[in-house]
A and B are shown apart, each in its own frame.
Chain A
Amino acid sequence: MTEVEYDVIIVGAGCAGPAAAKKAAELGLKTLLLEKSRTPGEKNVSGTCLNMAALVDPDLHYLMKGPVEREITEMHSYMITPERTTMFRETPSEGLILLSIRRDHFDAWHTEEARKAGAEVRLATTVVDIIEENDAIKGVITDKGEKLRAKVIIDAAGVNSIVGRKAGLIPKRKGTDMILYVTVNVHLGEKLVTERFGNSIYYFLAPQTQYKTWPWAFPKKDVVTFGTGGYLDDNLFKDGINSVNDYMQNLLDLPVIKEKIKGGKIASWGLHLEFDEALERRTRDGLILTGEAGGFVIPFLGEGMVEAFLTGIYAAQTAAKAIEANDVSAAFLEEHFMEYYTGNVFLQSFRYVADFNKKSILSMPDEEIAAMMQNVCIGGGFISNAIHYNWMKGADEDDMSLVQEAKDFYEFIQPYRQVGSESVEIYKKMRAEK
């Protein structure tokens, strides 16, 4: 019999990895966290803002102690058509919407938290293959040729994870489930970022600046991050667009943005893929896929980090249960992992909003979506769009069941909308403890 060296090996120290490692160590498991970069957060990570509505989940309170760049209290959505520009400004009556973070700082902090909890951490270590025996995943092989074994492997290595690919769970993906997007960080200095962007995030829907996605601007302390791109299909490049950089150029050239970044300098550029549908299977014997590796991401809402943190934690809890029950079969892992996942109302809300939005954005030309958004009068942004998609369609087609569905949906997502005084109190408490 082969000796098992670890209870759990976690591959990837982005969002899901450190969350899983910390939880696993806290549960008394012998835990190893592997990360290919020298500093966690310096590889192709996605996500720059933590959603406060989700952070009120007790499992995630500790994340409020991490390095925060900016406390976000507003959201602006610009709908730009040739005729007019409409701007929604959404702000909660109290509380914070998001915490803007720098991933190279945040992931490094988070990894250190996992180490403090008792997890062993190895940086600059790339996993190149899995160890597979009798159809079960038994360990991983690193670029240094080491064979590391564990009872459960948690894959937290992102959208292109080599673990998930080698295990046959991550297929090649093209089309309207995969988004290719580019980011640029424009350096303006803290004073100008505050003056011009304030503590708000921005979304833009404008022709020729995206292909079925929502370009965004998220201010950090001294830079503003812009992102845009589109679905990885044959329509990504057309009408004079030959690269996602062309979408970005058009975005930065929008008068409303041009003015705001005047005098700034591009500090860095990035390129990422994001998959926005759930994978068919997320487990095999001895293996759980979390975060983006498991398809737990919703680019439509700019949501991915929260899903990653939670699925990381749930994977660790599942691993602990499986090890205790001496059953690391895919059936056992899947059942318990998904029980945690489907039990989380925030995650389910995200999925619902995303499904509605995706349906609406894929079924209409940009101009129609922008026009529809301009007609929305009960609030702004994604949630309103999601609600209005069925609502308007129902009214147009005289189909009351669609209107009812929209109404039910509105009721359903109420917890997602509530970012009240509770979150501020928790945030203050966590910052004081820090």
Chain B
Amino acid sequence: MKVEMKVDYYPGDPGEFVRVDESKCTGCGECAKFCTRNVWVQDGKIFRPKNLKACVECGACWNVCEFDAVIFEEPKGGTGVRFEYG
């Protein structure tokens, strides 16, 4: 059986709840390395959460960023990822 990332989302705009602080990002790429959903993409010298739509709000990027360049907030109420079965 092939692992398939079957993920559900609530309808509605979650907002830009993950952002990069451009002044702090060193381009080390740890955020992208630990992101299972490939949200973080290199853009010149820094990384940006370009695929935020795919985010499942695990918070790995925020935790591994040693430079405080990942801004990890919350999606708007009733939006974002929706897990079945918990």
Contacts and interface: CB of A to CB of B under 8 A. Distances in A.
Given A103-B86, A182-B36, A124 B3 contact: no
A31 to B, nearest CB: 19
B83 A36 contact: no
Interface string A35-59: 0111001111101100000000000
B70 to A, nearest CB: 9
Interface in A147-184: 159-160, 162, 172-174, 178, 180, 182, 184
Given A44-B58, A172-B65, A185-B84, A269 B77 contact: no
A44 B63 CA distance: 16
Q: Counting chain B CB atoms within 10 Å of each CB, which of A38, A47, A261 scores highest? A: A38
Contact of A123 (B5, B59, B72, B78): B78
A127 interface: yes
Interface string B1-15: 111111110100000
Nearest to A107: B86
Given A128-B73, A232-B34, A266-B1, A104 B63 contact: no
A128 B81 CA distance: 17
Nearest to B60: A180
A200 to B, nearest CB: 18
B86 A106 contact: yes
A273 interface: yes
Interface in A322-349: none
A269 B5 contact: yes
Contact of A160 (B1, B59, B82, B83): B59
A232 B5 contact: no
A126 B77 contact: yes
A244 interface: yes
Contacts of A186: 1
Interface string A3-40: 00000000000000000000000000000000011100
B83 A261 contact: no
Contacts, number: 142
A41 B78 contact: no
Nearest to A36: B77
Interface in B31-86: 33-34, 36-37, 56-60, 62-66, 68, 72-78, 80-86
A104 B85 contact: yes
B3 A248 contact: yes
A395 interface: no
Given A182-B36, A271-B37, A273-B58, A266 B4 contact: yes
Interface in A76-115: 101-104, 106-107
A172 B63 contact: yes
B57 A43 contact: yes
B3 A273 contact: no
15 contacts: A42-B83, A42-B86, A104-B85, A159-B59, A172-B65, A186-B1, A220-B85, A236-B34, A244-B36, A245-B5, A264-B1, A266-B4, A269-B3, A269-B7, A273-B58
Interface of B: 1-8, 10, 33-34, 36-37, 56-60, 62-66, 68, 72-78, 80-86
CB-CB nearest 9 A-B residue pairs? A103-B86, A124-B78, A160-B59, A124-B77, A126-B77, A125-B77, A268-B84, A126-B74, A271-B58
